[in-house]
Amino acid sequence: MSGKEMDELLFKSIEEIGQLYRKKEVSPYEITKATIERLNTLEPKLNAFITVLSEEALIQAKKAEDTFVKGVEVGKLYGIPVSLKDIFDTKGIRTSLGSKIMKDYVPTENSHVYDAFSKAGAIIVGKNNMLEFAYGSVHPEYGQCNNPWDINRTAGGSSSGSASSIAAGIGFASIGTDTGGSIRLPSSFCGVVGLKPTYETVSRRGLFNLSHSLDHIGPITRTVRDNAIVLEGISTNQINYDSVFTESIKGMKIGVIRSFIDSNTHSEVEELVASAVEKLTELGGNVVDVKIPGIETFNDIGFPILMSEGSYHHRDWYPKWAEDYAEGTQIVLKEGFSVSAVTYLEAVEKKKEFREKLVDLFENFDVLVSPTSPSPATKNDPSFEDTTYDYLQRTMPFNISGNPAITVPAGLTPSENLPVGLQFIGRHYDESTLYRVADAFQLNSGGYRHPLIY
């Protein structure tokens, strides 16, 4: 098999690779070796990894190969190369959190997601680059993670390396975290599928908290169906989505969050989203505009919680080691310590009220839909100081409410060939409906398209 043919295999779905394993047409060792070779080739361009686990991955891949040769029945993720954002504890493997302060930290326990991947037989090839502590900005010692669609642009944040590597064909899934959009925004920038599941669907054990009230853990993949396979493997509860994918959304009630479209200032994003909404109608969805009362005040709820809880989790290090933080992280940590208890508790009460508004709204809708991001990938990482666009406006409200939300590629901008994401939001604990609608949309929009990066 030629190198190019093997590279194309690296963009197959998890299910397709599993079938090839079972037919013994390709082995986990071959796929893992090719994944690591592609990582080594592209990493100088992407900067998507902090730690690469080549030797460990190949040892696990050889064991997986032997298992398939023996014909042992195994699960969907067995022998599949994957990665993790470098914010999850991995016993005996450093967990840097993209920071100078923790650059040599080696945990003595595993996180839930690492244990879940290990139990499923997935092969972890590395730990991904990220914004420092998943917060203010990338630390200069690690550097910006680049976008495989245009390496002169950012992959987004904070789960930057996770989205970039999966879009580039380095592994079949990665696990990120999302506190205000940190799975969905880089997934939108990189043209992949990113899910923020219902709050606490995936255990946060072994995750370094940014904001424990808003942090969500979820998978980044190239297809909706791959995403469901990974969520099955890492969810705290036992779930199975095999019966979800009917490819039909006929009669489903879909609410378009009109304010999220009308506030958009990027014409090509607006056009692609409008076309996507038309597609949902063509597929039989009952599509109507919807207004969410109070959604424009998300700043008054989300930021006091995020910033105060963020600073709380850094209280032993800041301001003692202030100079070791990236400048953007220093700024938000300092501001977080100035949030009063009254302001924080008011935000917590408003958070509960907003959650109930969404519960009431979903009595009339199966899913909601909106743009994921107001623009395609930018040159540099969006930051709290960048007021050109409000990148959290369309994502953070659903961290506040805890609803599941998924971004799916909606197409490429005509002028610069950059991905644009479409976001679907679902009822609490109803990832099934979310997956059903997102999958039907993806399949009827041409499926996954990958960047031509070699």
Q: How confident is the prediction along the chain (454 residues), in pLDDT tens digits per residue?
A: 667 788 899 999 999 999 999 999 999 999 999 999 999 999 999 999 999 999 999 999 999 999 999 999 999 999 999 999 999 999 999 999 999 999 999 999 999 999 999 999 999 999 999 999 999 899 999 999 999 999 999 999 999 999 999 999 999 999 999 999 999 999 999 999 999 999 999 999 999 999 999 999 999 999 999 999 999 999 999 999 999 999 999 999 999 999 999 888 799 999 999 999 999 999 999 999 999 988 989 999 999 999 999 999 999 999 999 999 999 999 999 999 999 999 999 999 999 999 999 999 999 999 999 999 999 999 998 765 554 447 899 999 999 999 999 999 999 999 999 999 999 999 999 999 999 999 999 999 999 999 988 8
Contact call for residues 86 and 96 (beta carbons, < 8 A):
yes
pLDDT attached to residue 387:
45
Quote the Cα angle for 181-185-275, to 5°.
120
Q: Rounded to an integer, what distance in angstroms lies between the CA atom of residue 111 and that of residue 177?
A: 13
Out of 12, 33, 76, 85, the active site residue is 85
**Active site includes 12?**
no
Enumerate domains of the chain plus CATH numbers: 3-298+342-443 (3.90.1300.10)
Q: Active site residue: 111, 162, 174, 182, which one?
A: 182
Catalytic site residue 338? no
SS3 of 71, please? Answer: coil
Residue with tokens 């398939």, as numbered in its chain: 68
Q: What is the pLDDT of residues 153-169, one digit of tens each?
A: 999 999 999 999 999 99
Mark whether 375 is an active-site residue. no
Nearest to 194 by CA among 214, 215, 166: 166
